[in-house]
Structure 1
Amino acid sequence: MATETDEVPLNAIRVFVTIAREGSVTRAASALRMTQSSVSRYLAVLQEYLGSDLMQRRGRRSELTEFGRLFANTVAEPLDTVCFTAKRMRRRNRRDTNRIVVRTSLSTFAYAFLIPNLQAFSNEMGGVVVDVISSLSQPTSSDDYDILITRDLSVIEPADDWEIYNEQLVCVGSPNHVDGKSLPVVRTVPILNITSRPDIMPTWLRAMNLTPKDIKSGARYDHNYLALPAVMTGKCLLVAPEIIVSDLVRGGALNVIPRSRTPSGMQYRAYAVDRGDNPEMSRAFCRWLVRLCKKTALADGIRLS
């Protein structure tokens, strides 16, 4: 049994707070990148130290006990403060200040548009290094990044933000299959489905005064960046954000079907968090990205008009 002189198991507390937030040992293990057995051992250590159960079984599910809920609510905020302060102090002492970390939930936007243009920003800013990470999870104040680019996530900490792009949708295909064709081509050539963006097709169809019965449905892909090679080489079409196909259209790899352009209602935003390593560089990056997106959107508008 634990005694009053026992050392407080801080790692076990951190693991338990993650269990409480994630709602299960399994999800906590995934979030912490640990095995479920390791998470369970930390939970057992903390329960032994506190002398009380923190979790209880409810049928096939586990949930917090009343004591566990009280303990999690009491320690979660102070633990976040400790983690946040430690990371901030560590960053202050890092020597590599000529680097920023960009996190984005827009993987295809990063692949097709952002990353190909990063060298221009680096050259403009004297060789700054831009690290890019992709994640669909909601960011927290303890995550290591300077800038978030997203259309669907929110920032819960102080940050400056910019509207970088109001998403436009277009229908594209390889020149061999759509050159000289008009919108009725969608009735005979399959349109690829993107499962990570189930909103795109209904939005586009409504704008085109079409129904799902009016088109020929094609293969399914998780993300647009997986579908791009297919539409460039196969007999199929793709309805996608215009900004991610712009370079391919300008280079002649894809053609935009006339009169297929419509706004999606989605807005891309960039957030520069206050706790970043180099806040001035982060803000400069966001301003540069706004200019780049506006320039691209203007060029696309002129090309399609």
Structure 2
Amino acid sequence: MAEEKDLSLNAVRAFVQVARDSSVTRASKALGITQSSVSRHLAVLEDYFGAKLLERRGRQSRLTDFGRLFADAVAEPLDTILFTAKRMRRNDRKDANHLVVRTSLSTFAYTVLIPNLRDFSQEMGGVTVDVISSLSAPNGTDNFDVLLTRDLTLTEPADRWDVYDEQLVCVGAPDCVAGRGLDALRTTPVIAVTSRPDILPTWLRGMDLKTSEIKTGARYDHHYLALPAVTTGQTLLVTPHIVVADLIKQGLLQVLPGSRAPSGMQYRAYAVDRGGNPDIARAFCRWLTRLCRKTMEDESGGR
């Protein structure tokens, strides 16, 4: 009976890095080993499976169907293993369980991110997450591990997650919306949010409406200031769906029927390469992506 081969974790790690970078050269730099070492690791894996994992075309490496299947299956569990091992090292630095998240999405942070951070902390074994808000573009000297944004650009090396395609809806208190359609816009004031001057024009275009067809109301600097006004008064608010999903689920707000329109904007999370805790940062971005998906699924299921 032939002796069972052991699977090399180092070989798996090298393959996952090649799959992410689509290049043996870039993978070797990321791992801090030689290209020949990466190639040996790949050969070990292909010998183990008896199947090709990569098709090499010059400097580019393309996954085979088998390679893609294996990479998709092991990439996230491997990150979890490496993160857990690093966190449990006795000589690891004191701030290993600390993450700094910088965001330009203050209302999203207030309504979606911060209320759920306890779950992430517990999932990661007690990680502390600092949240800072800034509308200015970050630079290379700013101290943060994750950038969460819709409108800012990041020029430094980072891994990117697309966490939410922004959908706009018009909402109001249930007694203000119940039984009404878009005709409510003519008689019920629509609150304006000055920090997002793009929202109302974008939504009107998406709904094929003109400014003259709605009744304008009070003005607030931010959505988180406008939310108490719309939940307690006879007003309407055009807002990103995700920031009011929980209020809708609780029955405090209701979507005006037929008022959904995409804004064309995308919420993105970046785990910066120079961050002090890249493993935790990537775990956070994956968790946030799942949270956004679950938030919208739960709200849709509750209607």
Please give the TM-score of this superposition, normalised by the length of structure 1.
0.68
In structure 1, list runs of 5 or more residues that go unmatched: 1-91
Q: How does 1:111-126 map to 2 (within 5 A)?
A: 111-126=110-125
Q: Distance in 2 between matches of 1:277 and 1:189?
A: 50
Q: Measure the CA separation in 1 of the matches of 2:206 and 2:104.
A: 26
How far is 1:297 from its partner? 2.5
Partner of 1:205: 204
Instruction: Please give the alpha-carbon distance, in whole angstroms, between the structure 1 residues aligned to 2:225 and 2:157.
Output: 35
Whether 2:289 is the aligned partner of 1:285: answer no
What whole-Å deviation, never above 9, does each CA across 1:99-154 have from its counterpart, x for those lacking one? Answer: 10000000000001110111111111111111100000110111010000001111
Task: State the 1:277 CA deviation.
Answer: 1.3
Separation in 1 of the partners of 2:299 and 2:203? 18
Q: Is residue 195 of structure 2 the alignment partner of residue 196 of structure 1?
A: yes
1:121-200 alignment, distance < 5 Å: 121-200=120-199
- Looking at structure 2, the residues matched to 251 and 299 of structure 1 have their Cα atoms a distance apart, in angstroms, of 11
Q: Which amino acid counterpart does residue 105 of structure 2 have in structure 1?
A: L
Letter in 1 for 2:237: L
CA drift of 1:93 comes to 9.0
Give the Cα–Cα distance (whole angstroms) in 1 for the partners of residues 166 and 140 of structure 2. Answer: 28
**Paired position in structure 1 for 2:261:** 262
Distance 1:202 1:289 in 2: 29
After the TM superposition, which parts of structure 1 deviate over 6 Å for at least 4 consecutive aligned residues? none
Give 2:206's aligned amino acid. Answer: A
Q: 1:181: how far off?
A: 1.4
Question: What are the residue-to-residue correspondences of 1:28-43 with 2, within 5 Å?
Answer: none
Provide structure 2 residue ranges, at least 5 long, that are not aligned to the other structure.
1-90
Any idea what the Cα deviations from partners look like across 1:244-291, whole Å, max 9, x if unmatched? 000000001111111111110000000001111110010000001111
CA distance in 2, matches of 1:283, 1:255: 35
Please show how residues 219-238 of structure 1 align to structure 2 within 5 Å.
Answer: 219-238=218-237
Alignment match, 2:249: 250
2:170 and 2:259 in contact (8 A); partners too:
yes
What SS does the aligned partner of 2:121 have? helix
Q: Supply the distance in 1 between the matched residues of 2:302 and 2:251 (Cα, whole angstroms).
A: 13
Letter in 2 for 1:127: G
1:93 and 1:103 map into 2 onto residues whose CA distance is 24
RMSD between superposed Cα atoms in Å: 1.5
Counterpart amino acid of 2:254? N
Q: Deviation digits for residues 175-210 of structure 1, max 9, x if unmatched?
A: 121122111111100000011111111111112221
* Whole-angstrom distance in 2 between the partners of 1:185 and 1:116: 32
SS of the equivalent of 1:196 reads: coil
Equivalence map 1:15-164=2 (5 Å): 95-164=94-163
Amino acid at match of 2:186: R
What is the letter of the counterpart of residue 238 of structure 2?
A: V
- Distance in 2, matches of 1:273 and 1:139, equals 11
Alpha-carbon distance in structure 2 between the residues aligned to 1:174 and 1:300 = 16
Where 2:226 maps in the other structure, the secondary structure is helix
Contact kept? 2:170, 2:236, Cα under 8 Å:
yes
1:137 match: secondary structure: coil
